Amino acid sequence: MRRSHLLGLGFMTPAILLTLALFIIPVVLTGVFSFTNMSTSTGITGGAYEINPRSIRLMKDAGLREGLIGDLEENLYKIDAAGLAQVEKDFGKKLAEEMKGAYDGQTFKDRRELVRAIKDLKSRPRSSRDLNKAADLFQKSILNVRYDDESAFLNGLGNLGITLQDGEQAELTRFAYTGWVWTTENFSNMAAMPSTYRAAFNTVLYIAFTLTFNIVFGVFLAVATFYLPSAAASTFRTIWFLPRILPHVLYVILWKWFTWDTGFLSQVLEPFGVAPRNWMMDTEINAWVSIVLINGFVGASLGMILFSSAIKAIPSSMLYASEVDGASRLQQVRYIILPQLRWPIMFTSIYQTLSLLTSFDYIYLATDGGPGSSTTVWALYAFKTALNNYGGNLQYGFGAALALVLVGIGILASVLYLRLFDFKSMNAAPRIEQ
């Protein structure tokens, strides 16, 4: 290894580590997580073993043996040391010793059976209330008891005298496990859910309209400001560039103020007999128009900047020549300027398609995907599924599966994007051979 190799790798190390940890590994893990059922209830690190009403329901749905489910649901009564100690405390040593002698280690299926057994003893309590109370001290149930690992869980089952038939053990532990497990269900669910298709459709709609707006306005702004004196041009450019740097939260608030029923539009239109209404949210169409405008007013500025510098690169002699030849302004734009923008337009389109595909923060802040889910694009859908679900149970696994689709599209598009570059010349060897 030469010294400059070391220097080069040393210079790359911080970038590589950071990219690896928070870029490459997340890509891989998105794939990994998408094959799990991770959610708030399963946790993300690991789980415990517990039979609870939910798992009982699942077992019933899965058609497990009735008897076993009955055993699990049942309260059992088992004579053990802990129970006996309690009896000694509450009812005296005599009863405790008598019970220990007669029934130690025995299991009773229900309270009645145990009470009947206690009644057979000499030092039994008199009232039936006390009898019940004494019996209750031995009540045991697997329900809602957490076991940290599988063997403790099976031990617990054994202690309660719940017997498992062949093959039931694996199934039971599976249902009892509260942590996450590997699954492909995310993808089959995805294919089965209508909301998936709605989100996909919304995404296409969103990209198509916003991109068109961005490019058309970008070209228009670049061309229009090109014909203005530089002070005026830079004023307009600043007006249009500001949304790009304004905090997203504020920018969307401004739009809400502009469009909501207590806001600007309603107030201006009121004297004309238009009832105040929420222009942003009252219909699906309006919500869509808002989304496209909110994103478009930000996105157009990228095109504006890139196209402006492309237009500036046109030799002015070419423009003068066209004017001498008698071209009108529209003709000049059509035949001289637009052809020069072909490459930047293509570049911007691909770049913005990729970022629109995955951007959702303006939509999230503005309509939150509504009304209904009419403006929920794929990325927002994934985000809400995994990280922002008011229902409380965040489905990380399913969200990751949704995100994985975008990651896949992103990788494909990035490969295409790589082709846009003259990689061979970029890859030319450094000229100092040290």
Partner 1 sequence: MRILIDNFTKTFGTTTVIRDMTLDIESGEMLALLGPSGCGKSTTLFAVCGIHRMNGGRLLFGDRDVTTVSSQDRNVGVVFQNYALYPHMNVFENISFPLKIRKESKADIDAKVREMAKLVHIEDLMERKPAQLSGGQQQRVALARALIRKPDVLLLDEPLANLDAKLRLEMRSEIRRIQQETGITAILVTHDQVEAMSMCDRIAIMNKGQIVQLSSPSEMYNEPASAFVAGFMGNPPISFLDGTVEGSSLRLDQSSIVLPLPESSRPASPASRVKLGVRPEYFQPENPDKVEGKISFIEIQGRETLYDVTLENGAVLRSIQSSGPLHKLGDTVRWGVDHSRVLAFDESGARL
Partner 2 sequence: MTKNFKTLPVYILLSVLSLPLVIMYAYLVIDTFTVTTPGSLVPGPFTLHNWRFLWEPAKPGQASIWAATLNTFLFAGGTMLIVLMTSATAGYALSRLRMPMRSFMLAGLIMLHAFPTVTLIISVFLILQIIGLYDTLIGVILVRAALDLPLGVWIMKGFYDNVPWEIEMAGVQDGASRFTVWWRLILPQIQPGLAALGIFSFLQAWSEFILPQVLAPGANAQVLSVYMQAVVKSETQMDFTLFKTIGLFYTLPVVVIYLIFNKKLMNIYGGGTKG
| Residue ranges binding partner 1 (CB under 8 A) | 431-434
Among candidate residues 358, 366, 408, the one with its CA nearest the CA of residue 383: 358
What is the smallest separation between the CB atom of 250 and partner 2, expressed in angstroms?
Answer: 3
Q: Give the nearest distance from C-beta 99 to partner 2 in angstroms.
A: 50
Nearest distance from residue 35's CB to partner 2, in Å?
Answer: 12
Nearer residue to partner 2 within complex by CB, 204 or 250: 250
Residue 268 interacting partner from partner 1, partner 2, none (CB closer than 5 to 8 Å by kind): partner 2
Contacted by 338, from partner 1, partner 2, none: CB < 5 to 8 Å by type = none
Q: Which is nearer to partner 1, 285 or 432 (CB)?
A: 432
Q: Which does 382 bind (CB under 5 to 8 A by kind): partner 1, partner 2, none?
A: partner 2
Q: How far is the CB of 246 from partner 2 (least distance, A)?
A: 6
Query: Residue 412 binds what, of partner 2, partner 1, none (CB under 5 to 8 Å, by partner type)?
Result: none
Q: Long-range contacts made by residues 234-239, C-beta under 8 angstroms, separation at least 24?
A: 237/301, 237/304, 237/305, 237/308
Distances in Å between the Cα of 423 and the Cα atoms of 170, 273, 412, 415, 419 are 55, 61, 17, 12, 8
Task: State the Cα–Cα distance between residues 216 and 292, nearest whole angstrom.
Answer: 13
- Asked whether 351 and 303 are in contact (CB, 8 A), the reply is no
Closest contact distance (angstroms) between CB of 410 and partner 2 is 5
Which partner in partner 1, partner 2, none is near 226 (CB below 5 to 8 A by kind)?
partner 2
Beta carbons of 49 and 152 less than 8 angstroms apart: yes
- Residue closer to partner 2, measured from CB, 161 or 370: 370
Judged by beta carbon distances under 5 to 8 A according to partner kind, the member of partner 1, partner 2, none in contact with residue 414 is partner 2
Q: How far apart are CA 379 and CA 381, in angstroms?
A: 5
Structure tokens at 283: 């219909």
Binding partner selected for residue 288 from partner 1, partner 2, none, CB under the kind-specific 5 to 8 Å limit: none
d(CA 4, CA 383): 44
Q: For partner 2, give the closer residue by CB, 69 or 403.
A: 403
Q: Which partner from the list partner 1, partner 2, none does 73 bind, CB cut-off 5 to 8 Å by kind? A: none
Alpha-carbon distance of 242 to 238, in angstroms, equals 6
* β-bridge mates for residue 240, sequence order: none
Closer residue to partner 2 (CB): 56 or 254: 254
Smallest distance from partner 2 to CB 430, Å: 5
Question: What DSSP string describes 171-227?
Answer: HHHHHHB-S--B-SHHHHHHHH-HHHHHHHHHHHHHHHHHHHHHHHHHHHHHHHHHT
Least spacing, CB of residue 429 vs partner 1, in Å? 8
The least CB distance from residue 26 to partner 2, in Å, is: 4
State which residue, 197 or 257, has the beta carbon closest to partner 2: 257
Q: Which does 354 bind (CB under 5 to 8 A by kind): partner 2, partner 1, none?
A: partner 2
Question: Closer CB to partner 1, residue 126 or residue 424?
Answer: 424
CB atoms within 10 A of CB 175: 22
Q: Which is nearer to partner 2, 157 or 382 (CB)?
A: 382
Q: What's the CA gap between 126 and 147, in Å, rounded?
A: 38
Q: Please state the closest distance from residue 373 (CB atom) to partner 2, in A.
A: 19
| Dist CA 404 CA 196 (whole Å) | 13
Residue with tokens 């008891």: 145
Cα Rg of the chain (Å, integer): 35
Whichever of 63 and 245 has its CB closer to partner 2, that residue is 245
Token representation of residue 4: 């400059």
CB proximity list for 349: less than 8 A, separation 6 or greater: 211, 215
